[in-house]
Amino acid sequence: AVTAALVAHPLIEIRREEIAGLPPADWDSVIVATGPLTSEPLAAAVRELTGADALAFFDAIAPIVHRDSIDMSVAWAQSRYDKAGPGGSGADYLNCPLDRDQYEAFVAALLSAEKVAFRDFEAATPYFDGCLPVEVMAERGADTLRWGPMKPVGLTNPHKPDQKPFAVVQLRQDNRLGTLFNMVGFQTKMKHAEQVRVFRMIPGLENAEFARLGGIHRNTFLESPRLLDETLRLKAMPRLRFAGQITGCEGYVESAAVGLMAGLFAAAERRGETVAPPPATTAHGALLGHITGGHVVTIDAGPRSFQPMNVNFGLFPPLERSVVKTPDGGRLRGTAKTVARKQALSARALADLDAWRGALPAAAE
């Protein structure tokens, strides 16, 4: 339907050819909407303009867990050695402790789990920033993880202060809302079902719900929170806007949504009008917020923390009031409570989207 609309539009000319670089300077308003397998000449042009070290690499993604599915009677909040992060609290991580038996069983499960095989065109692409899959680290020795992302030093378990954990899994706050937490160092090429099985072996994550599971694939995307403004313009060259997967969204619907927003912003700018970004309570606004500034900078030096994301409920601001009862006054529990919360978030999003659309300039609407 999208293709048919574009082909039929009288003001759109479609040329099916490779774009080998950025457009000339007299093109004063351009949207670059290249995908995850951007060809090398165009990627090189973007890389030179943005100063990025690399755009094509194995994108090793760690799973992201919904904060409210973590068992805080087992896990606790603390930064290693109480080092303060961006929030300045000294408790910027959630920690899940493992004893020796739990650790050894976990490593064995990592090694035996089914993995995703690389495709032919991915074979020559290097890992990014030495960001190795957790199972590859486990293959290098039984204690490799304990000396790496699962090192237990600088932490004290308040639930069992007299017992030192043998290993610790840390989760780092992934978005400014504090609703999503990233499993630090747990990028993986395990199959999705295996990830759920293996990662729920970790104490405190037995009932974990994942906003995104890990993966490794060749990808091309910008470090958008640093490079793009809130209307998707490149800060280094505002005549260029970016849209689609190169901005750090994933999925066809999400790519189309970001393209729609880029088009609205560009059209309004050309007409001398202003279009406010969609509210953060909507799917469009939540995705735009993630792309242009919703991530959290890492506490310690290391790989950048911004990673591509599908739209999910973890990107939405929490409800002002939790949904705890049914319409007839009964108490919601378990899955029913989760469904009710998502329905309330959706209803709020639709109402706020209608209000935003009502305020758009007539031409944009």
The b/e string for 181-201 (b: 16+ C-beta within 10 A; e otherwise) is: bbbbbbbbbbeeebbeebbee
Asked if 215 and 116 count as a contact pair (C-beta separation under 8 A), the reply is yes
Asked if 234 and 72 count as a contact pair (C-beta separation under 8 A), the reply is no
Question: Pick the residue with more confidence: 13 or 90?
Answer: 13
**The model's pTM:** 0.66
Q: What pLDDT is attached to residue 364?
A: 62
Mean pLDDT of 152-161: 93
The 10s digit of each residue's pLDDT in 294-353 is 665 554 544 456 777 889 888 899 998 888 787 777 888 778 888 888 999 999 999 999
Specify the CATH number for 60-218; select among 2.40.30.260, 2.170.150.20, 3.40.190.80, 3.40.50.920.
Answer: 2.40.30.260
Question: Highest mean pLDDT range out of 23-32, 248-257, 326-335, 348-357?
Answer: 348-357
Whole-number Å distance between alpha carbons of 259 and 263? 6
Q: In this model, does residue 85 exceed pLDDT 70?
A: no
Q: Which of 12-21, 145-154, 210-219, 261-270 has the lowest mean pLDDT?
A: 210-219
User: In the chain, what are the domain boundaries?
Assistant: 1-55+221-312, 60-218
Whole-number Å distance between alpha carbons of 174 and 177? 9
Task: Enter the CATH code of domain 1-55+221-312.
Answer: 3.50.50.60
Q: What pLDDT is attached to residue 301?
A: 46
User: What percent of the chain has pLDDT above 90?
Assistant: 51
Q: In this model, does residue 54 exceed pLDDT 70?
A: no
Nearest partner of 263 among 284, 283, 294, 286, judged by Cα: 284
Q: Is 3 exposed, middle or buried (0-12, 13-18, 19+ CB in 10 A)?
A: exposed
Whole-number Å distance between alpha carbons of 227 and 30? 16
For the chain, give the mean pLDDT. Answer: 86
Residue with structure tokens 């970004």? 277
